[in-house]
Amino acid sequence: MTQGARFGLKQVRRALARLPPLGRLPDAPQVTVREPWPGAPERGARLLKNELEVAGQIIAITRATFADRSLPAPIREATLGFTWLRDLRALGTDPARLRARTLVADGMAAATDDLSLRPDIVGTRLAAWLANYEFYAASAEDNFRQALMVRIIHDARALAAALPAETLDRRGLAALKGLVAAAVAVPDMPALMTRVQRFLPQELARQIAADGTQNERSPAAQLAVLADMLEIRALLAAARVAPPLALAAAIERASLALRVLRHGDGALALFNGTREHLPIQVERVLAQVGRGGRPANALPEGRFQRLQAGKTLVLVDAGAPPPPGLDRTAHAGTLSFELSIGRERLIVNCGAVPPAPGPWRDALRATAAHSTLTIADISSSELRPEGLGRRPEKVQADRHEANGAHWLELSHDGWQRPFRAIHRRKLYLSAEGDTVAGEDTIEAPEPLSYTLRFHLHPGVTASLQQDGAALLRLPSGGFWRLRAEGLPLAIEESIYFGADTPRRTEQIVLTGLRDAPQRIEWAISRVSQ
């Protein structure tokens, strides 16, 4: 079938989905499955005061909020997705129940637009409405429950007609999760489950690589997709529908990949639009998978490297950014690394706040917000609102190990177009874990100015020593020493968006002008006490 024919068939299915359903509608879902993720009572208490918390930001939530197109898209997505219903359920009071009911009614009555009808938003909303149905709707009046069921069936039919999802990233799986929830809740509409069984294996194959990496190369997306797959598994089990074999395999692979992307504190590395996420959130998802085990030392297809010796862990973004269509949250952080000692982070990237205004979002995506080298204050990838423009096309990573020590030899061509330059980086971790050393080189027809940055976690304090090195103190009292050859170190202000609340922090900066060496060696070593 040609692409034009497929598009025409999808338009026909969408038109049919808008027709009123035939026959008597069910009064309530026949099967409801509570999601396995607990809400936060403190956020539920905010919702009672008409306040919705989204990634650390507080917005007013009223009936008008659902139709407010002036809000940033990420905030509207969170509002229209209704996942925050779990916070009211966690509060568990009668006022919380009534507030949830009112907000669902407001959401149903709000004016619709393209964003609210986007398949992933519809799917997320359906899954949230059904997962929390017993809390807010089971005791409601008949007219509310009937209106809700009409809307659920209407949205489910529209969602089924919209498949396969046109988006390539994790939003495609979010759409399918909503359709699964609806198919389980309304088994009298078997066509819904037929669509699920047809498209779920395709979506899993598209989303999850052989090494388990989700296709956006983002630890946050990795966590979200794994959680969605686990919910789909639970929904199918409740309906006594055999899941496709691909689902169990994808869950197993994705969980192993997620373990690679965790620091010693159990939270996530800050690559490509990721914040830490509380360790307990990550652990809850992994607990649903079962079986732990030591993480692998690399993701060959995801192109992340994990160097570990003793209590020292180095995580490296050693791959090209995701391609167009998958780069919505991608950062210009190629070859950046993060370093943790036990449960304490030492060197970090600056993190991300997707709902932040444009300037902040772009600042956090820039190469300068990552612990790597920047040439002439230009990022290694061109930042665009919808993703990336110019980007590294050839990224190489060679790994060597001997007697417990680790070496990485890395390079990328992100500055090939503006400067005909190649950035080469070597990283070394000693067998004892007491030294992390590096060498950054610029290969270009003529010398270029550059800046090498090491962003520090807010818990770390830094001071310059008389010999020009920087002394770094961890919260536990351990000391590490950062030194470099050929350029002086400076301590400058930085900011950390790794958690919900932005925090001031510092960065170690080495600045080289055109007459500076185009190769610089540095080392971070434990100070014996």
528: burial class by Cβ within 10 Å (0-12, 13-18, 19+)?
A: exposed
Q: How confident is the model at residue 12 (pLDDT cuts 50, 70, 90)?
A: very low
* pLDDT, position 24: 64
* pLDDT, position 529: 67
Question: Which among 282, 123, 262, 83 is positioned nearest to 203, based on CA atoms?
Answer: 123
CA 293, distance to chain mean position in Å, is 23
pLDDT > 90 fraction of the chain, expressed in percent and rounded: 84
Is 287 in contact with 38 (CB distance < 8 Å)?
A: no
pLDDT > 70 fraction of the chain, expressed in percent and rounded: 94
Mean pLDDT of the chain: 92
The span from the CA of 358 to the CA of 384, in Å, is 10
Positions of E strands within 288-336:
298-299, 304-309, 312-317
Contacts for 56 with CB less than 8 Å, ≥ 6 apart: 353, 499, 500, 501, 502
* pLDDT, position 25: 74
* pLDDT, position 4: 53
Assigned token pair, 124 = 């997320």
For the ranges 103-112, 188-197, 305-314, 452-461, the lowest mean pLDDT is seen at: 103-112
The span from the CA of 479 to the CA of 239, in Å, is 55
pLDDT in tens, 172-213: 999 999 999 999 999 999 999 999 999 999 999 999 999 999
pLDDT in tens, 301-316: 999 999 999 999 999 9
Q: In residues, how long is the chain?
A: 529
Assigned token pair, 516 = 């500076």
Helix boundaries (H) for 342-461: 358-365, 416-419
Q: Map tokens 């007459």 to a residue.
A: 515
Transcribe 364-379 into DSSP letters.
HHSGGGSSSEEETTB-
Is 338 in contact with 345 (CB distance < 8 Å)?
A: yes
What is the pTM for the complete model shown?
0.93
* pLDDT, position 295: 86
The span from the CA of 186 to the CA of 156, in Å, is 10
pLDDT in tens, 482-526: 999 989 999 999 999 998 788 999 999 999 999 999 999 999 999
Residue 6 confidence (pLDDT) above 60: no
The CA-atom distances, in angstroms, between 424 and each of 45, 91, 186, 441, 506 are 51, 52, 56, 5, 25
Is 87 in contact with 54 (CB distance < 8 Å)?
A: no
Residue 378 confidence (pLDDT) above 70: yes
* pLDDT, position 165: 79
Q: Start-end ranges of CATH 2.70.98.70 in the chain?
A: 298-526
pLDDT in tens, 326-364: 999 999 999 999 999 999 999 999 999 866 667 888 999
Residue 167 falls in which region: left (phi positive, over 0), alpha (psi -120 to 50) or beta: beta
CB atoms within 10 A of CB 481: 16
Q: Map tokens 């997709």 to a residue.
A: 225
Is 131 in contact with 230 (CB distance < 8 Å)?
A: no
For the ranges 164-168, 221-225, 371-375, the lowest mean pLDDT is seen at: 164-168
* pLDDT, position 338: 98
CATH 2.70.98.70, applies to 298-526: yes
pLDDT in tens, 380-412: 999 998 899 999 999 999 999 999 999 999 999
The span from the CA of 447 to the CA of 450, in Å, is 10
State the average pLDDT over residues 146-166: 92
The span from the CA of 115 to the CA of 80, in Å, is 9
Q: If DSSP codes are grouped into helix, strand and coil, which group holds residue 299?
A: strand
The span from the CA of 9 to the CA of 1, in Å, is 10
State the average pLDDT over residues 48-63: 89
Angle at 304 between CA 303 and CA 310, to 5 degrees: 145
Residue 18 confidence (pLDDT) above 70: no
Is 183 in contact with 193 (CB distance < 8 Å)?
A: yes
* pLDDT, position 355: 64
Query: What are the backbone angles phi and psi of residue 60, rounded to the nearest 5°?
Result: -75, 140
Whether the CA torsion 139, 144, 150, 156 is positive or negative: it is: negative
Residue 15 confidence (pLDDT) above 60: no
Is 184 in contact with 243 (CB distance < 8 Å)?
A: no
Helix, strand, coil share (%) of the chain residues, nearest 5: 35, 25, 40
* pLDDT, position 19: 46
State the average pLDDT over residues 62-91: 93
Residue 463 confidence (pLDDT) above 80: yes
The span from the CA of 209 to the CA of 200, in Å, is 15
The CA R_g of the chain, rounded to the nearest whole Å, is 25
Q: How confident is the model at residue 167 (pLDDT cuts 50, 70, 90)?
A: confident
* pLDDT, position 74: 86
The CA-atom distances, in angstroms, between 227 and each of 207, 222, 254, 366, 482 are 14, 9, 10, 29, 39
Query: What are the backbone angles phi and psi of residue 496, rounded to the nearest 5°?
Result: -120, 115
* pLDDT, position 121: 95
Q: How confident is the model at residue 77 (pLDDT cuts 50, 70, 90)?
A: very high
